[in-house]
Amino acid sequence: MSLLEFRKEGIYCPQADVYIDPWRPVKRALITHGHADHSRWGHQYYLCTTSAMPVIRYRLGDINVETIDYGEKKSIHGVQFSFHPAGHILGSAQIRIEYKGEVWVVSGDYKIEDDGFAEAYEPVQCHSFITECTFGLPIYKWKPQQEVFDDINSWWQKNKEEGKVSVLSGYSLGKAQRIIQHLDTSIGQIYTHGAVENVNEVIRSQGVKLQDTIRVHQGLNKKDYIGNMVICPPSAMGSAWIKKFKSASLGVASGWMMLRGARRRRAADRGFVLSDHVDWEGLNTAIEASGAERIFVTHGYTDIFRRWLAEEGYDAQIVETEYEGELTEMSDKTDSNEEE
């Protein structure tokens, strides 16, 4: 019996009888992080990190959830489980599973760079490593985030000088807060779309510090926004909501903005390459650091990345899952239960 199996409900540990990030309703689910394609509705029991819990509960409502701290060990039917920072969003974890000396790691979504907001990624040694490869092509190489934020802030400054509103989209959970935390508020105020502000409120109430933001609401005048920054989810970009802002410059922050074609297809003025997923170098670094010989790739450019790993000498396999990486995050399912 393998320590983990791939079933139609999700990744399954038969010895412990638990699933990790399952996409169909199950009895017991261990959750890597709060994005909609990883923490789904309908499980009878959830286990996630203490810092991921508030948002998951906010999204899923009255669920039966238990929390665990990073590094803390929990034994289920003799299998040792522990959660380790994945650096993807606040509270995101890689889940380490150990049984009779065999170790697996399910990394969920992750990134190597410390973004100053999510708990910084830590490599975890294992025999078998389950990884995403959303950006598993050598064309995806992120710049250090400070350079990207410098670009964003100077774009904001320039828009302000031209009497424009800066509207920047990034998914509501994770990207939005990471951006807010790095904006230069000496330039102006930060306004937020309701979907973003709802998440902000949840995160602040768990004691995490976040720069001040103001929710966009009916009572505000068009000219209040001029020279200021508005953060919204990607879905708001094409909607009527955006018309509130007179003369706005539109920006998109996403890893997909790496490609010129993608930048041009989006009806935005600027594309900033900013992702909460590992880039090509990061993937290879993480896989090497895990010390694993067996690699399972779940979502992204799986065919290509598997072949690359096989040629590099790994026992690499593709697992068909229903995770969607930054695609889901672009569509931003967290919006569905918001007003605005």
Q: Which is nearer to other proteins, 156 or 308 (CB)?
A: 308
DSSP annotation of 23: S
Q: Which is nearer to other proteins, 90 or 112 (CB)?
A: 112
Question: Is 301 near other proteins (CB under 8 A)?
Answer: yes
Beta strand 29-30 pairing with 18-20: parallel
DSSP E strands, the chain: 5-6, 11-13, 18-20, 29-30, 46-49, 65-68, 73-76, 79-85, 93-99, 102-106, 128-133, 165-169, 190-192, 214-215, 229-232, 248-253, 270-272, 294-300, 315-318
Contact partner, 15, from Zn ion, other proteins, none, Cβ < 5-8 Å per class: none
Q: Which is nearer to other proteins, 143 or 215 (CB)?
A: 143
Binding other proteins (rule: CB under 8 A), the pick from 98, 115, 197, 324 is: 324
Question: Is 163 near other proteins (CB under 8 A)?
Answer: no
Closest separation between CB of residue 13 and Zn ion, Å? 21
Question: Is 9 near other proteins (CB under 8 A)?
Answer: no
Show the tokens assigned to 240.
């009527």
**What is the per-residue burial (b if ≥16 Cβ within 10 Å, else e) of 303-340?**
eebbebbeeeebebbeeebbbbbbebbbbbbbbeebeb
Instruction: Give the interface segment with Zn ion, choosing from 35-43, 117-125, 294-302, 312-320 (CB under 5 A).
Output: 35-43
Q: Specify whether the CB–CB gap between 1 and 14 falls below 8 A.
A: yes
Question: Is 319 near other proteins (CB under 8 A)?
Answer: no
Question: Is 197 near Zn ion (CB under 5 A)?
Answer: no
Name the strands in the sheet holding 18-20, side by side, starting at the edge strand that comes first in the sequence.
5-6, 11-13, 18-20, 29-30, 46-49, 65-68
Instruction: Give the interface segment with other proteins, choosing from 70-78, 176-184, 192-200, 305-313 (CB under 8 A).
Output: 305-313
Chain-centroid distance, C-alpha 221: 33
CA nearest neighbour of 149 among 172, 119, 178, 110 = 178
Show the tokens assigned to 96.
């380490």
Q: Which is nearer to Zn ion, 90 or 152 (CB)?
A: 90
Binding other proteins (rule: CB under 8 A), the pick from 71, 138, 163, 291 is: 138
Question: Is 98 near Zn ion (CB under 5 A)?
Answer: no
Show the tokens assigned to 161.
């000088």
Instruction: Give the interface segment with Zn ion, choosing from 1-9, 51-59, 108-116, 155-163 (CB under 5 A).
Output: 108-116
Question: Is 256 near other proteins (CB under 8 A)?
Answer: yes
Binding other proteins (rule: CB under 8 A), the pick from 87, 188, 194, 325 is: 325
Q: List interacting residues with Zn ion (CB under 5 A).
A: 35, 109
Q: List interacting residues with other proteins (CB under 8 A).
A: 134, 137-141, 254, 256, 258-267, 269-270, 299-301, 304, 307-308, 311, 320, 322, 324-325, 327, 330-331
